[in-house]
A and B are shown apart, each in its own frame.
Chain A
Amino acid sequence: MTLLEIKNLTITFKTSNDSLIAVDNVSFHVDKGETVGIVGETGSGKTITSLSIMRLLPSNAKVSGEIFFNGKDLLKISEKEMDEIRGKKISMIFQEPMTAFDPLYTIGDQFSEVLFKHENVSKLEAKKRSIEMLKLVGIPEPEKRFYQYPHEYSGGMIQRAMIALALLTNPELVIADEPTTGLDVTIQMQVLNLIKRIQRSSNLSMIFITHDLGVISKMANRIIVLYLGKIFEVGSVKDVIFSSVHPYTKGLIASVPTLKTSKSQKLYSIPGNVPSLKEIKSGCRFYSRCPVRMDICKDNDPKLFEYTPGHFVSCWAVDPNRNLVNTYE
C-alpha cells in the first residue's frame, strides 16, 4: 500500500538575480513498511525534497507538484492541518541532534512537550511513554536520563534520543536526513542497527537520506539516485547497487575505496566537479562528466524509463527511445 506519493515535484528558489531549480520534476513513492533511500551529493536536492514533504522550506522557495500522504495532498492542506501531521504522522531525524534539542530544557521536558502537543496525555503518562521510548532506543538508566539536559548525553546517545523523539508519537513516516554522518564508525553501526530494528518491528515507512552508498545499501529497500535535482536511477538495492545502469551510479560505486581495494589499483573517479545549479543548461545534467556521453545527450534531457521491472533509469545510452529523438533540431 502506498503511503506517500510524490508527483512531479519541482522546487524553485528565487534569488536576487535569478531562480534556481533545485528539484526538477521528481516523482516517487514510499510504500507502507518500506525504507526508500535517497542518495546524492552536494546540490542534489535530497534535503530540499525532504523539507518540502514537511513543508519546512524557506519562503523564497516555490513548490509545484503534488505530495500525497495517505491520499491527502500536503501542498494543498491548511497550515493548521499540516501542523497536526508534522511531528505526529511524519517526523524527522536530523543530522545534528545537538541543534535539534533545546539546550535549556531537559530531554524529558522536550519529549513531554511533543506528546502534550499532539496527544491529550497526562504528565505522568507522558513521562511513562518517554521513558519507555528512551529504553527502546537503548539509553541506559532512562529514568535518570529523562531529567538530564542534552549536553549531558554523549554523541551517540543524543543521536539515539533524537530517534526516540522522532518515534514518540508513533509516526507513519520517518524522514532520516543523514542521521549517522559525523558519527564514529562504531557508533554509526549501533545507530543504523537501532533504526533498522525499530523500522522492522513497528513496520515503519522511512525515507533515508545520505551520501554514503554503503549505509544506504544496508538500510534501504529501494534506492533513488539524485543528481542536481533529477532522478537518475531508481530501483531495489540489488538493481541500483549490484547491477547499476546509469554511468553516474556506476561511477559513484566504483569511486569508493573498500577494504578489498588494492593499494596499487587506481581508484575510479568521475571527472570534474558537481556543477552548480546555475550552470545547468538544456540536455542531460551529467553530460559534462559522463564517460559515455553521446550527441543526443547535449540538448535532450533523458526521461526516466523502466529498464527492467521496477528498475528505472534516465540515460540515453540505454534508452530504446533515443532513435525517436530528432537530434538535428
Chain B
Amino acid sequence: MKKDTEIKKEETDFQRMWKVLTKNPFGVAGMVILIIMYLMTLFAQFISPYNFTDLHSKYTYLPPTPIHWIDSEGHFHIIPFVYGIKEERNPVTYAMEYVVDKQEIYPIHLFVQGESYSFLGLFKTNVHLFGINRDAHGMLALFGTDQYGRDLFSRTIVGGQVSMTVGLLGIAISFAIGIVIGSLSGFIGGTFDLIIQRLIEVLMSFPTLPLWLALSMIIPPSWPSTWVYFGIVTVLSVLGWTGLARVIRGMTLSIKEKDFISAAKLAGQTKLKIIIHHILPNIMSYVIVVATLSIPGMILAESAMSFLGLGIKEPMTSWGLLLSSAESLESIELHPWFLIPGIFIIVAVLSFVFVGDALRDAFDPYQYERK
C-alpha cells in the first residue's frame, strides 16, 4: 500500500535521526566508546601517570602491575595501592628478576605531582590525573613497560593521539577532494568524467603497500615528528579519496536525473549552485556514512605503515608503532602485554563500524519517501 499520503508530524530531520540512532544499542555503545577514546587522547598527557618518552631504566620489561585493595596482612585500604618492586637475582638461573616487595605500599592518589609536561600545549604542569609517589621504589605500570622502561599505558594513550586523529584528518582531506572531484565528475559528465574515472581506476589498481613504501620515502627523515604525522595523513588521503569520489559520483548521477534539478536549471540556476544547494545536501547523509565507515581503514593503514616502520617514527608514537615491538613470536611470549595497543585498534575500528552502520540506518532519507 502506498504510504506517501500520510502526513508526518512536525519533526525535524535531526530529531528523527537521533531517535533511530539511539535505538541501536551497538551504535550507542560505539559512540560512547569513541567519545571516551577521544577525550582520552585529548587529555592524554594529563591522564597518563608518566611521560610517554621518559625512560625508567630500573624497570625495563616490567609486566603490568596489579592494583590491590587488601594488603598481605588482610587489611582493607580505601585507597587502592601498588606494591613496591625490587630486583633480585634468581637463585637458580642467576637472571635478574622483578620481585614484588610486599613491605612497601604505595597508594594511588589523584592529581599527583609527577614528571612535568605541557598541558594541551598551553602551560607547563606536573600534575597527573593519578599516580603514585614520585620517589617510590616501584612503578604504576598498568600495561607494563617496554625495553626502555617506558610506561606502556601512557604510551598507548598518547599513541591514540596519532592513531585516532589520523583517520579523522585523513578522511577530512579525502572527503574534500572526493566531494569536489566526485560531484563535478558526475554533474559535468562527458570527457571530464571519462578522464576522472580512468584516473581513479588507475590509482585504485596500484597495490597499496608498495605505494605506501614509495610515498613514505618522499617524507624526509630529517622532518620533525609532527611534520611526519601530517605527511602520513597526506599519503593516506591521497590514496583514500578515490573510493569516496566514486561513491559521490554515482550518487550525483542519480540525483542529477531528478526533476527538481531540471526545475532548478529552468529557473536559471548556475551549475555550481545546483551542486551546492541541490546535489550535495541530498547525498551528504550517505557520504557521512561512507566516510565514517572508511575511518577504520585509515586507522588500520596508519597502524600497518607504522608497524612496518614506514609511518610514525620515534619519539612520536602510535598504536601501530607500539605494536611493532610485538612483531616476533618470542617477544609476544615473553612480553604479552605488548599486544595491548592492538586491542585498542580493534575496539576503535569496531566502534567506528558500529557507529557507521547506525548512522546509515538513521540517515536513510528516503525511508518515508518511497512510493
Contact = CB atoms under 8 A, between A and B. Distances in A.
A–B touch (CB < 8 A): the answer is yes
Interface of A: 22, 42-43, 45, 47-48, 273-279
Interface in B1-33: 1-2, 4-7
Contacts of A47: 1
Contacts of B7: 276, 278-279
5 contacts: A48-B1, A273-B5, A274-B5, A275-B5, A279-B7
A22 B6 contact: no
Nearest to B6: A276
B6 A42 contact: no
**Overall SS of chain B's interface:** loop
Contacts of B6: 276-278
Interface of B: 1-2, 4-7
Contacts of A48: 1
Given A43-B1, A47-B1, A276-B5, 11 more contacts: A22-B1, A42-B2, A42-B4, A43-B2, A48-B1, A274-B5, A275-B5, A276-B6, A276-B7, A278-B6, A279-B7
A256 B2 CA distance: 22
Contacts of A274: 5
A48 B1 CA distance: 6
A-B CB proximity, top 8 nearest: A276-B6, A42-B2, A276-B5, A48-B1, A47-B1, A42-B5, A276-B7, A43-B5
A41 to B, nearest CB: 9
Residue of B1, B5, B6, B7 ringed by the most chain A CB atoms within 10 A: B1
A48 B6 CA distance: 16
B237 to A, nearest CB: 39
Nearest to A45: B1
Contacts of A275: 5
Contacts of A42: 2, 4-5
Contacts of B1: 22, 43, 45, 47-48
A276 B2 CA distance: 10
B10 to A, nearest CB: 14
A53 to B, nearest CB: 15
Nearest to A11: B1
Contacts of A45: 1
A166 to B, nearest CB: 21
Nearest to B23: A16
Contacts of A279: 7
A42 B1 CA distance: 7
B11 to A, nearest CB: 11
A277 B4 CA distance: 11
A88 B2 CA distance: 28
A9 to B, nearest CB: 15
- Which of B4, B5, B7 counts the most A-chain CB atoms under 10 A from its CB? B5
Contacts of A273: 5
